[in-house]
Amino acid sequence: MSILLIEAFYGGSHKQLVDLLREEIEDCVLFTLPAKKWHWRARTAALYFMQTVPVNADYRILFASSVLNLTELVALRPDLGKLKKVLYFHENQLTYPVQKCQERDFQYGYNQILSCLVADVVVFNSAYNMESFLTSIGKFMKLMPDHRPKCLEKLIRPKCQVLYFPVKFPDVTRFIPGHTLALNENPPGSEGNGNTHLYMSLPFQENNSTEGLIKNSNSDVGPVDCKTQTECCIPFQERLHNPLTAVKELNEPTSSKSSTHGQGEDKPHAASSLCRSPEGLDCQQKPLHIVWPHRWEHDKDPESFFKILLKMKQMELSFHVSVLGETFTHVPVVFSEAKKTLGSSVLHWGYLPSKDEYFQVLCMADVVISTAKHEFFGVAMIEAVYCGCYPLCPKALVYPEIFPAEYLYSTPEQLFKRLQNFCKRPDIVRKHLYKGEMARFSWAALRGKFRSLLTTEPKEDL
């Protein structure tokens, strides 16, 4: 084995990345620690790996995430210090939000700075992640009372590069009936519009090796918390049947619309005849399905999300919600409170360990929401958009780098107004064709760059 992969927090996107690298790139060996007690992993993982990683003369490259204190590891294991050391940042601790200012532990950010200094290559999953880290070093070091080091950004920046997190998009077509796919081989309005949607994203799959991420297409996993397979897929079918964009209508003032839109009008909507499920249900009649697929932690700001949903419920707007994502030791109280208040509006609640079940829910949903106060990439949002969801994200953090402007909101009030309009006209969301580009985040597009990153000529002293 020539490539040594070390992951001190083997969960979420950290796990997804190293599993993908081990699966797709030859000569990799992986050592991990479970995704628990993050703070202790950051503090003590180097000592653990010092004892558990065997000495091996074949190692040429060391790839680790920034949770690991790389400086400590190479000091404890000089043999590993000789390797080409690649440090990958999923997030950075210089700008990671804390609930109270006094809670920020200087040591975590300091360890990341030291790790950058000893690494040969420093890779960030987005330009936002890289720039927010590098430009914060000077201010961060001013927290030291005296004898502050200088010019650290200048020392680290030449080593840095951006390499987006590679998403291995699965084949989700098995979650919709075959006749629907046949009808949409050449969907209306698809030629020359420059848009990207599920049927355009599918060629970027790695269909020959998806077993590590999803179950076999013959899986007997059924619909999750829904009555039938067909009903489960209705919103997704409708989006595929109707790839027409009607964003202007979504942005109209609420007062100009009626919750009984379509009744008594002289002209029906342009695609109203297409917007039907096999059972004859009008997509206007099926409530908007909102999904929130994030970690259940304070930095994702679930309070703001649930506050908006509760306001919508008080206004008697019709919607369904699926709250997914991983939970850890401490779960904010707001989740249990919101579940009780939302009541029958809840379709799914909690982490879905099966990738089949997870992607099936995403294919059911209409809109995916982020209210994050911290996001350096956002795999969950990209996967949801790939499955056909309309994204709504803050106009901040990494989101302007990932999504076109029309999917961004500046204030919670703007988010509420957008959702309010969507609830009254869910058919418009289901006919919308996403205007961004998913292919640049696919493993197919990024494979070559990762292979280049994980190759090197052996040093003379190895």
Q: For residue 205, what pLDDT band results from cuts at 50, 70 and 90?
A: very low
Residues in CB range of 141: below 8 A, 6 or more apart: 113, 148, 149, 152
Q: For residue 219, what pLDDT band results from cuts at 50, 70 and 90?
A: very low
Our measurement of the distance from residue 335's CA atom to the centroid of its chain's CA atoms, rounded to an integer in Å, reads: 20
Q: Is the pLDDT of residue 225 over 50?
A: no
Cα separation, 331 vs 352, in Å, equals: 16
Among 106-120, 174-188, 383-397, 404-418, the least confident range:
174-188
pTM of the model: 0.78
pLDDT of residue 190: 40
Q: For residue 206, what pLDDT band results from cuts at 50, 70 and 90?
A: very low
Q: Please compute the mean of the pLDDT values over residues 399-415 and round it to a whole number.
A: 98
Cα separation, 4 vs 305, in Å, equals: 40
Residues in CB range of 77: below 8 A, 6 or more apart: 49, 50, 53
Q: Is the pLDDT of residue 339 over 60?
A: yes
Two structure tokens written together for 231: 């009903």
Q: Set out the domains of the chain in order of their start, with CATH numbers.
A: 3-166+444-453 (3.40.50), 173-440 (3.40.50.2000)
Cα separation, 437 vs 442, in Å, equals: 10
Does residue 316 contact residue 309 with C-beta atoms inside 8 Å? no
Decide which of 455 and 450 is more confident. 450
Decide which of 437 and 211 is more confident. 437
Rg (alpha carbons) of the chain, rounded to whole number: 24
Run of H or E residues at 419: helix 412-424
Q: For residue 175, what pLDDT band results from cuts at 50, 70 and 90?
A: confident
Q: Is the pLDDT of residue 249 over 60?
A: no
Could you give the percent of the chain with pLDDT greater than 90? 67
Does residue 249 contact residue 210 with C-beta atoms inside 8 Å? no
In 87-228, which ranges are continuous DSSP H helix?
106-118, 127-134, 137-141, 152-156, 178-183, 198-201
Q: Is the pLDDT of residue 179 over 80?
A: no
**Degrees, nearest 5: CA angle 361-366-369:** 90
Does residue 346 contact residue 339 with C-beta atoms inside 8 Å? yes
Does residue 217 contact residue 409 with C-beta atoms inside 8 Å? no
Q: For residue 189, what pLDDT band results from cuts at 50, 70 and 90?
A: very low
Q: Is the pLDDT of residue 151 over 80?
A: yes
pLDDT of residue 85: 98
Q: Please compute the mean of the pLDDT values over residues 142-157 and round it to a whole number.
A: 96
